[in-house]
Amino acid sequence: MGVEDTHGKWCDNPLDIHRVAVDYFENIFTSCNPTNISEIMGCVHRKVTTQHNEALLRKVSTEEIWVAVQSLHPTKSPGPDGYTGSFIHQFWDVIGPDINGMVKSFFHSGRLYKKINHTHIVWILKVGNPRKMTQWRPIALCNTVYKIISKILTLRLKKVLPSVVSSNQSAFIEDRLITDNILIVHEILHSLKSEIRAGSAGLAIKLDMAKAYDRVEWVFLDAMMRQLGFDPTFCQWIMECISTITYSILINGEATAPILPSRGLRQGDPLSPFLFLICAEGLSALLHRQEERGGLHGFQLCPHGLSISHLFFADDSVIFCRTDEHEVSGLKHILECYAQGSGQCINFEKSSIFFGQKCPARLKGKLVHILGVWQNEKFGKYLGLNADFGASKRAVFETVRSRIASKLLGWSEQYLSPAGKEVLIKAVAMAMPNYSMSCFKLPVSLCKEIERDIANFLWKGQKDHRGIHWVSWQRLCQFKKAGGLGFRDLLCFYLAMLEKIGWRILQNPESLLARLLHEKYYFEYDFMHVVCGRRVSWGWKGILQGRRILEASLRWRVENGECIRILPDRWLATQSISMVHSRHPDMPLMVSELIDLTLRSWNMELVDRCFNLLEAKCISTTPISRWGCPDK
């Protein structure tokens, strides 16, 4: 094992490796004395209410501690204390009272014993053959007692953050999904390429933040929490957890001397992701203020419609604005101001910019020079998936098939029993396309090739023998009770995932994704009745394909009946019959006209006259809301 130092010299002596590692982490974890914090704080508004602070500061109970203990993963690597979650669970009746006392003491005094907060850092490979320290990912291994305290604070903070963090941030917040960000970026890039938008040409900037967690300045985090309205006692608890930390680096199982940091959040601490969201809210506040002043114009489909100036998923950031020199210069000032205040280091050389179709080449050169970023003809990958689609959809998703094929090829070199092959196929090979299929529909030919590769691996004999396919793939995809092996039919599965997106649009019409799709594709209609038009995105085509399955399984639940049409809608509460087939001249148009508003019950005289016996019986047994709630 060896590593290069800052001068490019190769070091393989254990003492030299220790020196290089300690110097590297000391440099990262040393504060740069941030400036411009007051300028950022001037854009941040108070969002934490008195009720929120009461929930955050409530007295910790034994039951709350036990909930945090149960959430500890049983087999994850232990910290310096050597205790795993499994040990704590098994011997809680012995050590539980002592741990309860330590945890309650922290929440009472606000002080944390420093040895509890000592942390080991281990290195995880980021590339195949790492040479530099930047090619390793540091993971923090915390002590068990600290993890319990951190879990309690995290569980409390999670309930407050949806009201604190803006809707442009999708990471770690309840009811916000990573797939929403991918689909939003996909739709915006599709519009930029075809210029389906209001105003002038636009651009998208994908930012790269170097060591985002490790560079968070503690003074900035404390200022952000207080400006957002968190109670000083809660802020003290948080700052005690992150400022009393000491690190030791594990190299070949040997720990170095302790490092005393002055900034940074641990990657491995349950609390760190949520604290990073609070810091990122500072950049979001700067962008919103610039937008309010008219200095920044986000992506808009119509002059008075939804404006999206930025999308965040933790430290993965995309910013949208117009191709205007003054606007781009103002954006560069905002990014520099945020970097100076928060300690974040935006790597403009690794960031990229994507221009709309109508932007002149000369203007592109000027804007690239102002930002100092790399111009990319294609947007590339965002959150692990291609968001910019060309004419060939197969080329976009070919990496999915190639990754699965490489896995199967690696397994083929080992002798595996049929049962072992079945487990690997279900747990790994068939799970690898899940992420892609949760956002986009895959070409049918690509799904067939993936299934063919998996079938060849299953039936392949020793060495290079292809083997005989004794049973068809369709038979293998049946349940085991029906004689199959329970393999996943990829075509059916990706349709189900696309159906899930449609259901989310129906259930969360105020989400950014639903509002954007509404303005772009069905402004004058509702989601269930819009037709696929021309020049639509690949993502929207997939959503509409999943909607066909959604239509067949949706039913109305009758509350006041004002939104439900008697004839075309599905509202009868039986599996055998869901739609009305009777035709009668006295039949009203809406279900609400079948309800006696005084008694809040069915008008059975009208029901018996207009419907056949089976439908009338089904209607009579359908419950009605006594309070006149809207239909669902």
**227-265 tens-digit pLDDT:** 999 999 999 999 999 999 999 998 887 888 889 999 999
CA separation for the pair 591, 210 (Å, rounded)? 59
Flag whether pLDDT at 462 surpasses 70. Answer: no
The answer to whether 286 touches 337, Cβ cutoff 8 Å, is: yes
Q: Is pLDDT of 197 > 60?
A: no
What is residue 418's three-state secondary structure? helix
Rounded Cα gap, residues 218 and 104, in angstroms: 25
Among 19-23, 400-404, 596-600, the least confident range: 596-600
Nearest to 492 by CA among 577, 538, 541, 433: 433
* Residue 204 dihedral angles phi and psi, to the nearest 5°: -130, 135
pLDDT at position 51 over 80: yes
pLDDT on residue 505: 92
What's the DSSP call for residue 134?
A: G
Question: Which residues have C-beta within 8 Å of that of residue 428, sequence separation ≥ 6?
Answer: 407
Do 495 and 545 meet the contact criterion of CB atoms below 8 Å apart?
A: yes
Residue 508 has pLDDT above 70, yes or no: yes
- Which of the four pLDDT bands, split at 50, 70 and 90, describes residue 118? very high
Average pLDDT in the 210-216 region? 88
Provide the pLDDT for residue 200: 57
Which pLDDT belongs to residue 65?
94
Encoded tokens for 393: 């959809």
pLDDT for position 355: 87
CB 494 within 8 A of CB 439: no
Please, are residues 173 and 124 in contact by the beta-carbon 8 Å criterion? no
- Residue range 362-382: average pLDDT? 84
Per-residue pLDDT of 567-584, as tens digits, reads: 888 888 776 778 888 888
SS3 446: helix
* CB neighbourhood size of 135 (10 A): 15
Beta strands in 184-240 (DSSP E): 202-207, 209-210
Q: pLDDT tier at 463 (50, 70, 90 boundaries)?
A: low
Tokens of 229: 């309205």
Per residue in 303-312, pLDDT tens?
A: 888 899 999 9
Q: What is the pLDDT of residue 464?
A: 61
What would the mean pLDDT of 312-326 be, rounded to a whole number?
A: 91
Going by pLDDT thresholds of 50, 70 and 90, the confidence category of residue 62 is: very high
Q: What is the pLDDT of residue 413?
A: 59
Handedness of CA 427, 170, 154, 27 (dihedral sign): positive
Query: pLDDT tens digit string along 126-164?
Result: 877 888 888 888 889 999 999 999 999 999 999 999 999
Give, as one character, the DSSP assignment of residue 591.
Answer: G
| Per-residue pLDDT, 384 | 86
When mean pLDDT is compared over 4-18, 320-334, 457-471, 545-559, the highest value belongs to: 320-334
Task: Report the pLDDT value the prediction gives residue 113, as an integer from 0 to 100.
Answer: 87
**pLDDT tens for residues 70-93?**
999 998 889 898 899 999 999 999
Nearest to 512 by CA among 286, 290, 116, 181: 181
What confidence score (pLDDT) does residue 414 get? 67
Tokens of 364: 């592109």
Angle subtended by helix axes 512-521 and 178-194, to nearest 10: 30
Q: Which two tokens stand for residue 17?
A: 């490796």
- Per-residue model confidence (pLDDT) at position 175: 84
Position 116 pLDDT exceeds 60: yes
Sign of the CA dihedral running 144, 149, 152, 154: negative
Average pLDDT over residues 417-426: 86
pLDDT of residue 285: 94
List CB contacts of 40: < 8 A, sequence separation 6 or more. 220, 224, 282, 285, 286, 337, 338, 341, 342
Q: Kindly report the pTM of this predicted structure.
A: 0.88
**Angle value at C-alpha 526, between 525 and 528, nearest 5 degrees:** 125
Higher pLDDT, 198 or 367: 367
Give the per-residue pLDDT at 69: 93
Query: Could you read off the pLDDT of 352-363 as tens digits, one per residue?
Result: 888 887 788 888
What pLDDT shows up at residue 348? Answer: 80
What is the per-residue DSSP string for 73-118? -TTSPP-TT---HHHHHHTHHHHHHHHHHHHHHHHHH----GGGGE
pLDDT at 528: 84
- According to the model, what pLDDT value does residue 174 have? 86
**What's the whole-number average pLDDT of the chain?**
87
List all residues 6 or more positions away from 567 whose beta carbon is below 8 Å from its beta carbon: 579, 580, 587
Q: Helix 62-70 vs helix 92-109: angle between axes, to the nearest 10 degrees?
A: 120
What pLDDT shows up at residue 132?
A: 85
DSSP-derived pairing of the beta strands 352-355 and 374-375: parallel
pLDDT for position 625: 76
Average pLDDT estimate for 333-346: 91
Helices 232-243 & 92-109 angle (0-180, nearest 10): 120
**pLDDT, mean of residues 500-517:** 91
